[in-house]
């Protein structure tokens, strides 16, 4: 094999013919503002850049940056999405300072204009009455919510944030492809991109004088603060997300923790007294401002979409009476209408007295006679879109259709012209993107962001650039408009180069009197507490299962198929114990047990990898991750370092050979490492706030249950001394107490001393007594739903369990009765199990808010 | 004429409902020829929140939230309404319907602007080719609006059987044209769709009929439930109401509650509840009585 010399990256770069290229001029010269970056790229070379890209992906993976991909509308289909890693190309797009000023002025003016349009449409509607906008274009748009008429935010701006997708034509001029006003996404991803690229290309970043993004988010925070209903001193702000499975769930949690707001889902909120309240632990906490990331249609099942399960009934009413400020406003989606584009130049002159600085890509609304004639006459050259994305259907590219399909489209447009627009195609600009062979020119679109500030808008200096996922798209003529994450696009950081070093302003550190801290109980929703409780339980369940599986695998290596009867017998008991502890019947205890005991490989493999079967390791890991995703904003980002690879371990193992025990053993080892890192984080990096108490209680209960179930499945029957010595050893290994036991009791293994160490010893962090001690502390310090001096039900149950344990006589319990069985021990362990289960149920009933299922009031006629 | 309207809706559940949130359109609005004198809504159990407002179309809506656990919910609306509708139709209705259609497009008055919204499709009234074809039979060239409307009304009355339970709030106009049975809401939707299909502004009206007919007059269909009909806009004259269910123009035996694009804008009572109850029973009673003298 010959190794060709690394290509000269810049010399071998081929901009697309006819398109503007971000890096090179049409006559093949490096653009001036790329001079430094060009040198750095050349110096680094392909191999090093590819290494940096791997590093970027590792960082994104460690931070758990994902994008969820759906086939259909996530609010309607119950199916879970495909969790895709976030794609990032390490080579940034550079924008010169003067170039950016033009874009910035344009996007700010556009935001101001759209704000005035929005204010009018939910106010006097003069634009419609005076014919400046066709009434049909607005009144037929599904994003125009009559229920939200006349609702106003405090202050002059009704439009809080905007995003625009910008395309550069072949001359390098920017035009708007689409406006995003519903709940613009991407700003958080842009921030994460910056973090990663500045880490993998540190010296390039440092030397380039790049405008920072943080000030934009400080503006956003300051503006949100001012949106609180009048008379609110210290407004409570929450970020409303549809949940961990929404497309941009990562961004919701990331922004919530970056901005310091509580991440909520609709079930965390309730409306009463014309205000919105957070169901926090044990009480209702007022919410003043909602940063909305749930599409407005779904936000209120009473007044908006009746079938929504992502809404809060009464939310529109609360906004109407001014009890809460929701941004973007519930009706803001009316501006996400490409049919408005042809009217914007006229509206800019009328409303602002200015020319529109940033044009839209030429667009025709078919509800207008001339517009329709133009679109139908040029059907083959235009991209056909609906005026509302809620109407379903994506953009149509008529040149890709068959004759029949095109005729059908024509008929649809003629039948309901007002629902359609035609938009010119743009020869999108290209940006240098890393591939394994060098730099490739890929079509790119820039999403720019603004936020309301001081009666105008501030633009994020930079934005989210997305390039086509492969250069196949770039070669096909005119298909360049399909650059979306759902279509596999990857992102790039976007650097606006400052002409002079930036002055730092608006620091996080502030002078003045100390600010009162937010009470942690008030900022945590009951749902978050419940998820943390389950996070603790599943983490411990996974750990216990991994330990037990490892102990079983060790014994199997020793004795499987061997001639040692005691060894075979101890393995049989352990396999049965595995089934009993994990409740994965029939397994090694029911139908088909004989075959499975003879060849346990397949079942043992399934107990690791089958996530659809409750009780397996994969099932516990799956639910552990689900709970972690749901409380992502509460966890340190290092958490993903610990658990981020868990499901990949299991997925990889699932693909491998089940009859290769070494592979399973190695995987179990790595899973243990991750789980131990997670419990280390919980012990060393989490504040002992109410959330921690719930997580720890979950852990303690689960560890108690696992241990007790294991003892009950192994030592309640006396077997031969040889078998029992092997068995006791395995139990001590699975219970992570073998070293202490050996040190303490040397070679004299006895059940009584084993029970002393595993049940009674309050200093052994693996003993039942220790779990109950910790649990007593946790339940005492947990916030309660009901206040009162008497012990709560969980406290009472923990006390009862712990008392029963302390009164137990291990010597008596260990003594075998008739036929070698130990009925007293069995009864005792069964009682412990029952009490622990009841404690878990009591915490659930006593500490978490449970909503009954939502349904509709029957329609009366 | 003065009427006392009592509209009572009762829900019974087989297990507890932790909270009910509702929106009601049960309070009669004022329209030309109708003034609502008094009205009140009683909700049991007592709601934690109750607020009335005027909606986008000028209707009276109310929001309520019952936040105490309950297994039964009753909403009773009681109003007194003076009705004095003209006994004859307004004059411009005798013009050809095309003239009225064209005047609506060019009329710059505020009420005409507002009416033009009712030319557009709405969620429950989509003008399909089948609807347009049904309407075209009555809206022939040069015919007066009165004649066209009278005939359309009578065709719907004869072509469709009144049969409660045969349709739901989700029935489309095309399905209705297929099955030929329905209730007043369906007939009102169809009339509205026919009007829109020929370029006239059609709106949906919810309201009531006098329960017991005056001596010598027949009892009208739909008198003991809430009723619905359609309305067409005539520039300079205003909205003219027709009742396809009873094949007549709306007289002073009718009380209007609310108007909208279709049922979805003005459904009398809708809501969201939290419960495991599977057996939900609904009972509605409407009583509209003519009262003499002052109230």
Give the pLDDT confidence score for residue A514 in this predicted structure: 67
Which residues is A292 bridged to in the sheet? A240
Contacts A298 to B, Cβ<8 Å: none
Residue B67 at interface with chain A, using a CB cutoff of 8 Å: yes
In B, which residues are within 8 Å of A317 by CB distance?
Answer: 49, 51, 63
Examine the pLDDT at A767 and tell me if it is beyond 60: yes
Inform me whether the C-beta atom of residue A850 falls under 8 Å from chain B C-beta atoms: no
| A623, A632, A683, A725, A793 from A850: Cα distances, Å | 19, 21, 29, 48, 17
The per-residue pLDDT for B268 is 95
pLDDT mean across residues, chain A:
90
Which residue from A285, A698, A704 is spatially nearest to A530, judged by alpha carbons?
Answer: A698
Interval A61-71 mean pLDDT: 76
Question: Is the Cβ of B114 closer than 8 Å to some Cβ of chain A?
Answer: no
Looking at CA atoms only, how far is residue A714 from chain B in angstroms?
42
Q: Contact at 8 Å (CB) between B95 and B25?
A: no
Smallest CA–CA distance, residue B236 to chain A, in Å, is 18
- pLDDT confidence of A2, banded at 50, 70, 90? very low
Q: Which of A135, A274, A859 sits opposite B116 (nearest CB)?
A: A135
Residue of A nearest to B280 (CA): A858
CA-CA distance, B45 to B27, in Å (whole number)? 20
Contact A860 B284 (CB under 8 A): yes
Chain A residues whose CB is inside 8 A of the B276 CB are 852-853
Q: What percent of chain B has pLDDT over 90?
A: 81
- What residues 105-134 of chain A have any CB closer than 8 A to a CB of chain B? 128-129
Work out the percent of chain A whose per-residue pLDDT is above 90.
Answer: 69
Inform me whether the C-beta atom of residue B269 falls under 8 Å from chain A C-beta atoms. yes
pLDDT at B93 over 80: no
User: Nearest residue on chain B to A141, judged by CA atoms?
Assistant: B122
What is the predicted pLDDT for the residue at A846? 81
Do B162 and B180 contact (CB within 8 A), yes or no?
no
Is the backbone peptide bond immediately before A328 cis, with ω within 30 degrees of 0? yes
The helix/strand/coil state of B213 is: coil
The widest CA-to-CA distance across chain A, in whole angstroms, is: 99
**pLDDT-derived band of residue B166, with 50, 70 and 90 as boundaries?**
confident
Predicted confidence band at A70 (pLDDT cuts at 50, 70, 90)? Answer: low
More confident residue, A89 or B170: A89
Which residue shows structure tokens 């002073």? B252
For A147, residues 6+ apart whose C-beta sits below 8 A from its C-beta are A300, A303, A304, A316, B55, B56
> Does residue B57 have a pLDDT over 50?
yes
Angle at A44 between CA A39 and CA A49, to 5 degrees: 120
C-alpha distance from B214 to closest chain A C-alpha (Å)? 25
- Which residue in the set B21, B120, B183 is minimally distant from A139, CB to CB? B120
Nearest to A250 by CA among A181, A189, A322: A189
Question: Which residue spans within A414-559 are E strands per DSSP?
Answer: 420-424, 430-435, 438-453, 456-459, 464-467, 490-496
CA distances from B95 to A720, B86, B105, B143, B240 (A): 108, 19, 16, 8, 14
Whether chain A has a CB inside 8 Å of the CB on B225: the answer is yes
User: What is the pLDDT at residue A510?
Assistant: 63
Nearest to A272 among B49, B51, B270 (CB): B49
What pLDDT was estimated at residue A748? 77
The SS3 call for residue A848 is coil
Q: Is pLDDT of A525 > 60?
A: yes
Q: Point out the least confidently predicted range of A382-391, A411-420, A438-447, A511-520.
A: A511-520
Chain B hits for A274, Cβ within 8 Å: 49, 51
Q: Which of A136, A175, A487, A489 is nearest to A337 (CA)?
A: A136
CA-based nearest residue in chain A for residue B69 = A852
The model's confidence at residue B34, banded by pLDDT at 50, 70 and 90, is very high
Q: Do B48 and A140 lie within an 8 Å CB cutoff?
A: no
- DSSP code of residue A119: H
The winner for highest mean pLDDT among A696-705, B83-92, B231-240 is A696-705
- Tell which wins on pLDDT, A713 or A81: A713
CB contact, 8 Å: B113 with chain A? yes
Q: What is the pTM of this model?
A: 0.88
Find which of B20, B21, B114 to mutate to test the A interface (most A CBs within 10 Å of its CB): B21
B235-292 pLDDT, tens digit each: 988 999 999 999 999 988 899 999 999 999 999 999 999 999 887 899 999 999 988 7
User: Is the model's pLDDT at A391 over the cut of 70?
Assistant: no
CB contact under 8 A, B280 and A858: yes
Identify whether A586 is preceded by a cis peptide bond (ω within 30 of 0).
Answer: yes
pLDDT exceeds cutoff 90 at A845: no
Q: State whether A852 and B17 contact (CB < 8 Å).
A: yes
Q: Are A559 and A600 in contact (CB under 8 A)?
A: no
Segment A102-109 mean pLDDT: 97
Average pLDDT over residues A819-841: 94
Q: Which residues of A touch B284 (CB under 8 A)?
A: 860-861
**Residue A198: is its pLDDT beyond 90?**
yes
**Is a pLDDT exceeding 90 seen at residue A747?**
no
Classify residue A287 by its DSSP letter.
E
Average pLDDT over residues B63-68: 97
SS3 B13: strand
**Cβ contact (<8 Å) for B226 and A861?**
yes
Work out the percent of chain A whose per-residue pLDDT is above 70: 92
* Residue among B17, B51, B56 whose CB faces A317 most closely: B51
How many whole angstroms separate alpha carbon A330 and alpha carbon A312? 13
CB contact B246 to A (< 8 Å): no
**Inter-chain contact B21–A852, Cβ cutoff 8 Å?**
no
On whether any CB of chain A is under 8 Å from the CB of B271, the answer is yes
User: Rounded CA gap, A580 and A592, in Å?
Assistant: 15
B20 at the A interface (CB within 8 A)?
A: yes
CB contact under 8 A, A136 and B120: yes
Q: Which residues contact A596 (CB under 8 A, 6 or more apart)?
A: A575, A587, A588, A602, A603
Assess whether pLDDT exceeds 50 at residue A473. no
Say if CB A701 and CB A836 are below 8 A apart: yes
| Of residues B57, B274, B282, nearest to A858 (C-beta) | B282
The C-alpha R_g of chain B, in whole angstroms, comes to 19
Q: Do B274 and A854 touch (CB under 8 A)?
A: yes
- Using an 8 Å Cβ cutoff, are A359 and A175 in contact? yes
**Whether A306 contacts chain B with CB within 8 A:** yes
| A479 — pLDDT class (breaks 50, 70, 90) | very low
pLDDT in tens, A620-661: 999 999 899 888 888 887 888 888 788 888 888 888 877 776
Give the pLDDT of residue B219. Answer: 74
User: Given A129, A320, A857, which is nearest B269 (Cβ)?
Assistant: A857
| Higher-pLDDT residue of A355, A782 | A355
Q: Are B187 and B244 in contact (CB under 8 A)?
A: yes
Residues of A in contact with B53 (CB under 8 A): 320
Give per-residue pLDDT as tens, B220-233.
Answer: 776 678 899 999 99
Cα dist. B219→A632, B212, B222 in Å?
A: 65, 6, 9
A778 neighbors A804 (Cβ within 8 angstroms): no
Residue A3 has what pLDDT? 47
Cα dihedral B246, B252, B254, B259, rounded to 10, equals 110
Q: A303 — contact with chain B (CB < 8 Å)? A: yes
Q: Tell me how far apart the terminal alpha carbons of chain A are, to the nearest angstrom.
A: 80
pLDDT of residue A477: 42
> Is the model's pLDDT at A73 over the cut of 50?
no
The strand order across the sheet containing A382-386 reads A363-365, A420-424, A382-386
Distance from CA of A342 to the nearest CA of B (A): 21
Across the interface, whether the CB atoms of B21 and A146 are under 8 A apart is answered: no
Test B270 with A273 for CB contact under 8 angstroms.
no
pLDDT at A480: 44
pLDDT value at position A390? 60
Test A856 with B271 for CB contact under 8 angstroms.
Answer: yes
**Is residue A77 over pLDDT 50?**
no
Question: How confident is the model at residue A72, as a pLDDT?
Answer: 47
Q: Which of A503, A458, A446, A462 is nearest to A194 (CA)?
A: A462
Cβ of residue A414 closer than 8 Å to a chain B Cβ: no
Helix axes A526-559, A565-582, angle to 10 degrees: 170
Crossing angle of helices B97-106/B145-159, nearest 10°?
Answer: 110
Give the pLDDT score at B91.
65
Give the N- to C-terminal CA distance of chain B in Å, as an integer: 12
Beta-carbon count within 10 A of A353 CB: 7
Distance CA A227, CA A219 (A): 12
Of B171 and B94, the one with more pLDDT: B171
3-class DSSP state of A805: helix
Residue A18 has pLDDT above 80, yes or no: yes
Contact: B273, A854; criterion CB under 8 Å: yes
**Which of A151, A850, A857 best probes binding to B when mutated, by most B CB atoms within 10 angstroms?**
A857
The residue that leads in pLDDT, A91 or A664, is: A91
Dist CA A93 CA A103 (whole Å): 14
Check if B280 contacts A (Cβ < 8 Å).
yes
Task: Compute the residue count for chain A.
Answer: 861
Measure in Å the smallest separation between the Cα of A467 and chain B Cα atoms.
Answer: 38
């Amino acid at each position: 094999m010959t190794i060709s010399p690394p290509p000269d990256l810049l010399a071998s770069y081929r901009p697309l013919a006819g398109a503007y290229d971000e890096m090179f001029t049409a006559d093949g010269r490096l653009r001036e503002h790329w001079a430094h970056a060009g040198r750095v790229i050349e110096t680094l070379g392909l191999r090093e850049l590819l290494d940096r890209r791997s590093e970027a992906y590792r960082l994104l993976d460690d931070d758990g940056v994902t994008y969820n991909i759906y086939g259909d509308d996530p609010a309607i289909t119950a199916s879970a999405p495909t969790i895709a890693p976030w794609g990032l190309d390490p080579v940034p797009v550079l924008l010169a300072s003067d170039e950016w000023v033009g874009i910035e002025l344009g996007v700010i003016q556009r935001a101001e204009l759209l704000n005035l349009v929005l204010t009018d449409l939910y106010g006097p509607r003069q634009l419609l009455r005076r014919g400046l906008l066709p009434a049909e274009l607005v009144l037929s748009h599904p994003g125009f919510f009559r229920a939200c008429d006349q609702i106003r935010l405090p202050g002059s701006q009704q439009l809080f944030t905007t995003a625009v997708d910008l395309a550069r034509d072949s001359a390098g001029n920017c035009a708007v492809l689409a406006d995003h006003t519903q709940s613009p996404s991407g700003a958080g991803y842009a921030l994460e991109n910056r973090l990663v690229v500045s880490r993998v290309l540190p010296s390039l970043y440092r030397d380039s004088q790049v405008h920072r993004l943080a000030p934009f988010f400080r503006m956003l925070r300051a503006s949100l603060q001012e949106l609180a209903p009048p008379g609110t001193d210290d407004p409570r702000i929450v970020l409303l997300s549809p949940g961990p499975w929404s497309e941009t769930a990562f961004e919701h949690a990331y922004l919530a923790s970056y901005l310091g707001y509580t991440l909520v889902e609709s079930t965390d909120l309730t409306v009463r007294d014309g205000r919105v309240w957070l169901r926090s632990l044990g009480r209702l906490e007022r919410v003043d401002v909602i940063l909305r990331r749930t599409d407005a249609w779904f936000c209120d099942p009473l007044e908006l979409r009746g079938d929504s399960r992502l809404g809060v009934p009464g939310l529109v009413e609360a906004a109407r009476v001014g009890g809460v400020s929701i941004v973007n406003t519930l009706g803001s989606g009316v501006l996400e209408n490409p049919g408005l584009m042809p009217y914007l130049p006229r509206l800019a002159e009328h409303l602002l007295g200015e020319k529109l600085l940033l044009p839209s890509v030429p667009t025709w609304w078919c509800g207008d006679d001339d517009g329709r004639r133009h679109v139908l006459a040029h059907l083959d050259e235009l991209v056909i879109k609906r005026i509302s994305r809620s109407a379903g259907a994506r953009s149509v590219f008529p040149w890709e259709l068959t004759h029949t399909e095109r005729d059908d489209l024509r008929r649809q447009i003629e039948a309901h012209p007002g629902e359609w627009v035609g938009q010119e195609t743009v020869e999108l600009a290209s940006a240098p993107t890393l591939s394994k062979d060098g730099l490739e020119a890929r079509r790119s679109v820039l999403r720019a962001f603004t936020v309301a500030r001081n009666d105008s808008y501030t633009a994020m200096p930079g934005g989210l650039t997305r390039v086509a996922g492969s250069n196949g798209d770039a070669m096909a003529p005119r298909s360049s408009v399909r650059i979306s994450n759902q279509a596999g696009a990857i992102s790039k950081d976007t650097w606006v180069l400052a002409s002079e070093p930036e002055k730092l302003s608006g620091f996080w550190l502030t002078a003045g009197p100390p600010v009162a801290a937010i009470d942690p109980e008030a900022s945590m929703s009951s749902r978050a507490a419940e998820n943390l409780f389950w996070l603790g339980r599943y983490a411990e369940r996974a750990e216990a299962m991994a330990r037990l599986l490892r102990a079983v695998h060790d014994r199997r290596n020793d004795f499987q198929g061997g001639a040692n009867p005691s060894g075979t017998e101890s393995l049989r008991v352990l396999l049965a114990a595995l089934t009993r502890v994990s409740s994965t019947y029939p397994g090694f205890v029911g139908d088909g047990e004989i075959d499975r005991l003879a060849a346990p490989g397949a079942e043992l493999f399934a107990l690791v990898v089958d996530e659809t079967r409750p009780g397996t390791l994969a099932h516990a890991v799956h639910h552990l991750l689900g709970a972690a995703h749901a409380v992502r904003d509460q966890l340190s980002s290092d958490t993903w370092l610990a658990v981020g690879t868990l499901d990949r371990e299991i997925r990889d193992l699932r693909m491998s050979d089940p009859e290769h025990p070494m592979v399973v053993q190695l995987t179990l080892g790595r899973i243990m490492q991750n789980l131990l890192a997670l419990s280390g984080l919980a012990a060393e990096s989490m504040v002992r706030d109410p959330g921690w108490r719930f997580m720890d209680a979950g852990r303690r209960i689960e560890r108690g249950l696992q241990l007790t179930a294991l003892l009950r499945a192994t030592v309640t029957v006396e077997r031969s001394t040889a078998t029992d010595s092997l068995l006791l050893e395995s139990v001590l290994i699975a219970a992570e107490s073998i070293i202490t036991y050996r040190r303490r009791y040397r070679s004299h293994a006895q059940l009584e001393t084993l029970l002393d160490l595993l049940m009674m010893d309050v200093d052994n962090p693996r003993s039942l007594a220790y779990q109950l001690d910790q649990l007593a502390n946790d339940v005492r310090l947990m916030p309660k739903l009901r206040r009162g001096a008497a012990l709560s039900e969980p406290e009472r149950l923990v006390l009862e369990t712990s008392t029963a344990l302390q009164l137990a006589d291990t010597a008596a319990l260990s003594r075998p009765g008739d036929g070698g069985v130990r009925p007293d021990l069995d009864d005792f362990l069964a009682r412990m199990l029952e009490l622990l289960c009841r404690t878990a149920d009591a915490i659930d009933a006593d500490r978490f808010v449970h909503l009954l299922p939502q349904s509709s009031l029957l329609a009366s006629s | 004429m003065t009427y006392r309207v009592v509209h009572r809706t009762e829900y019974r559940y087989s297990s507890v409902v932790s909270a009910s949130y509702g929106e009601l359109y049960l309070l009669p609005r004022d329209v030309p020829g109708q003034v609502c004198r008094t009205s009140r809504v009683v909700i049991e159990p007592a709601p934690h929140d109750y607020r009335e407002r005027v909606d986008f179309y000028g209707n009276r809506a109310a929001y309520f939230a019952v936040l105490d656990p309950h297994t039964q919910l009753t909403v009773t609306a009681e109003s007194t309404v003076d009705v004095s509708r003209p006994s004859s139709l307004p004059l411009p209705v005798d013009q050809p319907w095309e003239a009225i259609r064209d005047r609506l497009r060019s009329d710059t008055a505020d009420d005409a602007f507002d009416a033009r919204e009712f030319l557009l499709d709405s969620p429950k009234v989509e003008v399909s080719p089948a609807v347009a074809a049904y309407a075209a039979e009555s809206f022939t060239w040069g015919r007066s609006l009165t004649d066209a409307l009278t005939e359309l009304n009578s065709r719907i009355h004869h072509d469709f059987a009144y049969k409660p339970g045969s349709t739901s709030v989700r029935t489309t106009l095309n399905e209705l044209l297929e099955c030929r049975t329905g209730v007043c809401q369906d007939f009102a939707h169809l009339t509205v769709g026919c009007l829109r299909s020929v370029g006239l502004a059609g709106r949906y009206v919810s309201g009531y009929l006098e329960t017991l007919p005056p001596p010598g007059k027949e009892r009208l269909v739909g008198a003991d439930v809430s009723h619905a009909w359609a309305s067409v806009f005539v520039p300079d004259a205003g909205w003219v109401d027709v009742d396809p269910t009873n094949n007549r123009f709306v007289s002073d035996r009718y009380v209007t509650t609310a108007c909208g694009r279709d049922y979805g804008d003005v459904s009398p009572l809708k809501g969201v509840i939290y419960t495991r109850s599977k057996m939900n029973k609904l009972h509605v009673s409407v009583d509209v009585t003519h009262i003499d003298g002052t109230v």
